Structure 1
Amino acid sequence: MKKQILYMILTLLLTAMVFFGLKAYTQAKAYEEATASLVSHMSAKKLAEFQLKELAETFSLGFYENDKKKNLAKLRAEQEIHKKKSQEYALYFILLLLGILGSYFLISLRAFTFFGSLGALVTLVFGLITPIMMVTIHKEVEYLGDVVLSFESKGVIGSIAKLFESGDAVVAIVILLFSVLIPAVKTLSLLFVSLFMESRFAHGIVKFFKMIGKWSMVDVFVVATFLVYLTANKGDVSRAEVEVGLYFFLAYVIVSMLVSLSADKMLHRLKG
């Protein structure tokens, strides 16, 4: 009875993770859209129009009001709200994930490997689809101020597609392999091991991933290289901002390593 209650609680934690993950993703996309809308008002042409309206407001002695100033202030307020909410929901997601990891001391290794694998899979999905980096190339122009030359905000999946489209197939394939395919196969394999640990394939799967375990941090390295690649565009100044998708992805790397150790220990005990 006690085990059933624990399993029910862990199922609820996973469900809540999906809920808050979707909330964080939605808010991250809304933040991306609000930023893109704000950036659209920071081209040389738009800033010139803004400066002219500012002059008109100054010389009109209060008879003319620059409505664009209010619109920009509203956009900035919305942008900040979406940013804070995406971070807040991501924090709730991580706390729930820590709750699942804490079950290690309460349930069997097999059950922990099962629920841990599901938690890792959910975390990986949100890590791949949620924006991970926002990059703007801007230049300070006299009389106009800070002019934005280009703006990018992408998640791993969207960026891989764009790299293929732009002809950077090698970079795209490397990121696809180490940040999508291998993590997905590894997580699904650990889930298989937890369900069919008596299978002769289970030991081979864990042994294989244990053998390549030293390459686990390649996931992080590839993403770091990917972020550097994004910021290496031509321009006067690059401004890069990390988004919540990167936190999801890094959380996945840590959780998958812990679940791999759990699966290895589980099979070692079974063998002994």
Structure 2
Amino acid sequence: MRKILPLTVIVIALALLLPGITQPVLTLEGRIDKSQLAQVGIEMLAEEGDVSTRNMLMMASSMLGLDKLEGEISAYQKTRSIWGTVNELADNKNYLVAVLVAFFSIVIPTLKLLMQLLYMFLPVNKFKHMLGRVIQCVTKWSMVDVFVIALIVAYLAGNADGQMGELINMRAELGAGFWYFTGYCLFAITASSLIKVTPRNS
């Protein structure tokens, strides 16, 4: 009966980890005000002509109501999951960063949960003692996965900001993957507190 609660917590953590990795973590969208876009286009055309050409363009713009356009148009949109970010980093030849993100946000969390699961059902022996030591070492890195998700969000936001001009209004929305991964982190921490790893063989 003592194993039911930690077993349930580990299974839930594993179930949350998969969508946490594959579902979108962050969606970034850049939108441009239509009237501002029309104004910039007119100014760009006017720069190529003289003062009279500029005045004519401005007058035509006013007559056509281009300066009174309402609404926005989408100019940039990017949605990424943790796995998608790893692939994007690899495609951009940032192999080291891609490997580190994959290692700390996918490999380590999965291995930690599976080792805890195995530890629960092993009889007390030398192997269980060794596995307990490994789990203790891995648990010291338990906050790295949280740090990785923060880095991914910052990376996507910074990447978008570098591509956008002053005209574009950026909007960011956290995706389902972020909440799944946050849920995984909470259940993984709970699992670590429920599974008592013995410091020595008994």
Taking structure 2 as the reference length, what is the TM-score of the superposition? 0.71
- CA gap of 1:136–1:192, structure 2 versus 1, over 3 A, is same
Identity in percent: 23
Length-normalised TM-score, structure 1: 0.54
Which of 129, 137, 142 is equivalent to 1:211?
A: 137
The answer for the alignment partner of 1:158 in structure 2 is 84
Is 1:136 matched up with 2:136?
A: no
Structure 1 residues 243 and 210 mapped into 2: Cα distance closer, same or farther (>3 Å)? Answer: same
Please tell me the root mean square deviation across aligned C-alpha atoms, in Å. Answer: 2.2
The superposition leaves residues 169-218 of structure 1 with CA deviations (integer Å, 9 ceiling, x where unpaired) of 23322210110010011111111111214242223223233234342111
- Secondary structure of 2:88 counterpart: helix
Unpaired runs of at least 5, structure 2: 36-68
Return the structure number with greater relative CO, CA threshold 8 A, min gap 6.
Answer: 2
Deviations 1:124-161 (A, max 9, x none): 11211221111112333413642322211122112212
C-alpha contact (below 8 Å) 1:131/1:244 kept by paired residues: yes
- The match for 2:20 is 127
**Paired residues for 1:1-272 under 5 Å:** 107-108=1-2, 110-142=3-35, 143=69, 145-232=71-158, 233=160, 234-235=163-164, 236-264=168-196, 267=198
CA contact (8 A) 2:124 2:201 kept: no
Q: Distance in 2 between matches of 1:248 and 1:163?
A: 22
Q: Which amino acid aligns with 2:116?
A: L
Contact 2:125–2:201, Cα closer than 8 Å, also in 1:
no
Structure that is richer in strand per residue: 2
Structure 1 residue runs of 4+, over 4 Å off? none
